[in-house]
Amino acid sequence: MEAMPQMLLRRVQIMRVVDLSLKVAEEYLENHQRHYKAPVEAICAIGVGDEDGLHGAAILGRREAGVAELAHIYVDGVSQGYSLLYGACWRALKALGYTQVVL
* Per-residue 3-state assignment (H helix, E strand, C coil) for 79-94: CCHHHHHHHHHHHHHH
pTM over 0.75: yes
Is residue 6 situated within a structural domain? no
Confidence of residue 2 (pLDDT cuts 50, 70, 90): low
Q: What is the mean pLDDT of residues 35-54?
A: 85
What does the pLDDT read at residue 79?
Answer: 85
| pLDDT-wise least confident of 23-32, 35-44, 65-74 | 35-44
Residue 22 resides in a domain: yes
Nearest to 36, CA basis, from 12, 53, 61: 61
* pLDDT at position 12: 58
Task: Kindly state whether residue 44 falls inside one of the protein's structural domains.
Answer: yes
How large is the greatest C-alpha to C-alpha distance in the chain, in angstroms?
A: 66
Averaged over 33-42, what is the pLDDT?
75
The DSSP bridge partners found for residue 68 are 62, 101
The domain that holds 41 is classified in CATH as 3.40.630.30
In a domain, 7, yes or no: no
Per the structure, how many domains does the chain have?
A: 1
Kindly give, in sequence order, each residue whose CB lies less than 8 Å from that of residue 52, ignoring residues fewer than 6 positions away.
13
Q: Which domain holds residue 26?
A: 13-102
| Residue 8 domain flag | no
